[in-house]
Amino acid sequence: MEVSSAKQYEAGSYDVIVVGAGHAGSEAALAAARMGNRTLLVTISLEMVAFMPCNPSLGGPAKGIVVREIDALGGQMGKNIDQTYVQMRMLNTGKGPAVRALRAQADKHAYHRQMKLTIEQEPNLTLRQATVDDLIVEDGVCCGVITNTGARYRAKAVVLTVGTAARGKIIIGELQYESGPNNSKAAVKLSEALERLGFELERFKTGTPPRVNGNTIDYAATEEQPGDETPHHFSFDTPDSAYLPVKDQLSCWLTYTNPAVHDLIRANLDRAPMFSGLIEGVGPRYCPSIEDKVVRFADKDRHQLFLEPEGRDTDEYYVDGLSTSFPEEIQQQLLHQIKGLEHVEMMRPGYAIEYDVVAPHQLHPTLETKLIKNLYTAGQTNGTSGYEEAAGQGLIAGINAGRRALGLAPFVLKRSDAYIGVMIDDLVTKGTKEPYRLLTSRAEYRLILRHDNADLRLMAMGHALGLVSDERLAAMEAKKATVAAEIKRLATVRLKPGSAADEFIQAHGDHALKDSLTAAALLKRPYVSYDQLLEFIPAPATPLDRQAKEQVEIQLKYEGYIKKEEVKVNRLKRMEAKKIPANIDYDQIDGLATEGRQKLAKIRPETLAQASRISGVNPADLAILSVYIQHH
């Protein structure tokens, strides 16, 4: 406990101050600084910069696409993981391109060190260790922060990315104590300051599994999960030649829970904080604890567990799938019932952590708070779960804080631009009653928002923001031109009946050609790859690289579906163009349903399209609102 307060002193002024250097704060501070703002990044512990307190991995469905989007806009996460991964795998390769997902196992200590070094070397950025206890607010405008050491820093914009440190409380069985993630210090006074300012805070919970000593795992009893041979990377700038051969990657190992584990869990539910009433915070639906899984899915006799290395210079393994807040002794008993872990040594117990969240309906789509001007929030503070979700918001909050400091117009990604746009719109429009996780099913336009085209979608925006260099943009434009030229060429090359291509078609069970067929039309068939097509037609003057080939194939194979989505997007853009006046008084609009009126007044959507996505606002309300806007 802090007993006394330090004497305050004026410690200097900056353009932008970012509070908290997790995944959101790191991106926010780098973005603001790279746009030309003098930026201060203040964090509780420099040992926790971009730290991974939960799973040592990045990517996976939807989340991997976010890492690509961050990279395309000029953020750091993709570059950082490409320099520090121990394994990469492309998931869902048997499915369509909209749900393919790259996932990397991180060396969590190397990831932290590399990001910290990047921040330290950024010219406009100062990194400082301190706990922010209060905000300087004058006439409803945030003008700076006050630290526990008494320093008063002033700024034109402030970004809060406090994460699970916000009045954090760790729970292990009957034990509970004030703490941030991984036994770091909690930030208590800042939550109290936000409540004093009138913010509505909610209480969420997340959890983490035990870590075990890899030397005590019986690997022979588990299934090896190696990385991919095919080169992968998250950043546009990383060449295939930098990819680690599989022999130099670290494997993960698959095992399962079993009925004995489930019986042990059921027998001890009275000691599980989730069920005994100790935990009040709402937990993540898509990352449930093992005790929750066993109770909710009672018909399942086993659940997957992945044993994941935490890095090259440690023997700690993360038991993915065994998130728990059981007492330590029960955690040990559970581990010893699992195949391959019968004699395992637990190094750290799993725990649950409760923390404060700023209810996200209090935010604009720029992530500026509606209550206090020039104050932005991002990451788990806004109710999301996941490093990637945090980093995506951090980037947007940092960009908007930076643009506010420079006197420029705000930047907002639409739902049709990026998964980051989907996430922020979901948060500010619908709010969330549990830790929010991005899923491909949350995006209406997921065939457009693919892993493979993030650079083509967003890099020009990153360049306009000042976060992407001319050279990088030129490389992307060259790729785009190469793909377009090859698609055009394939539409002119014809394959004749009786040709080798015709034999290939018949060998795959299709009818023989009656008339000639374009190479583009042949590539649209599901059994034909671009490389196979080149066996029947002349190669382009300059051979295409792996990424360009992939683009040609996807753009042609899915052309019809992509065009349908583009029609929907254009319809959405027309609704997005219908702006709702900021000072609108919903009580003055006749005919709105009571629920619709209340929801509109609470969330205060900025466009008719955003209003249409609020649950409880019906089509009749929208029609009335649309007419009202036109006449006023």
**pLDDT tens across 528-572, in order?**
999 999 999 999 999 999 999 999 999 999 999 999 999 999 988
Are 44 and 129 in contact, with CB atoms under 8 Å apart? Answer: yes
Which whole number is the average pLDDT over 473-479? 98
152-172 exposure pattern, b = at least 16 Cβ within 10 A, e = fewer: bbbbbbbbbbbbbbbbbbbbb
Q: How far is Cα 145 from Cα 282, in angstroms, rounded to an integer?
A: 30
Cα separation values, 411 from 327, 371, 408, 414, Å: 47, 19, 9, 10
Reading phi first (left if > 0) and then psi (alpha if -120 to 50, else beta), residue 567 is in alpha
C-alpha span between 413 and 421 (Å, rounded): 5
Question: What distances in angstroms separate CA 485 from CA 482, 523, 539, one per listed residue?
Answer: 5, 15, 13
Q: Are 580 and 626 in contact (CB under 8 A)?
A: no
Question: Domains (ranges, CATH) in the chain?
Answer: 9-203+355-464 (3.50.50.60), 211-353 (2.40.30.260), 470-566 (1.10.10.1800), 577-631 (1.10.150.570)
Residues in the annotated binding site for FAD:
20-25
**In angstroms, rounded to a whole number, what is the distance separating the alpha carbons of residues 116 and 46?**
8
- pLDDT of 382 over the 60 cut: yes
Instruction: Determine contact, residues 90/230, Cβ cutoff 8 Å.
Output: yes
Distance CA 309, CA 212 (A): 10
Centroid of chain to Cα 313: 27
Angle among Cα 614, 465, 110 to the nearest 5 degrees reads 90
Confidence of residue 286 (pLDDT cuts 50, 70, 90): confident
Each residue's pLDDT tens digit, 338-381: 999 999 999 999 999 999 999 999 999 999 999 999 999 999 99
Distance of CA 406 to the CA centre of its chain: 27
pLDDT at 3 > cutoff 70: no
pLDDT tens for each residue of 487-521: 999 999 999 999 999 999 999 999 999 999 999 99
- pLDDT bracket for residue 573 (50, 70, 90): confident
pLDDT score for 2:
54
Burial of 67 (0-12, 13-18, 19+ CB in 10 A): buried
Distance CA 324, CA 320 (A): 11
> Which pTM does this prediction carry?
0.95
What average pLDDT score do residues 621-626 get?
93
pLDDT of 276 reads 84
pLDDT for the residue 283: 85
Arithmetic mean of pLDDT over the chain: 96
| Span 139-179, pLDDT tens digits | 999 999 999 999 999 999 999 999 999 999 999 999 999 99
Query: Which of 317, 390, 342 shows the shortest CA–CA distance to 55?
Result: 317
* Residues 72-115 pLDDT 10s: 999 999 999 999 999 999 999 888 888 889 999 999 999 999 99
Residue numbers belonging to the annotated binding site for NAD(+): 283-297
What is the C-alpha to C-alpha distance for residues 460 and 478, in angstroms, rounded to an integer?
A: 13
Q: pLDDT at residue 1 above 80?
A: no
Q: Tokens 């406009």 identify what position?
A: 124
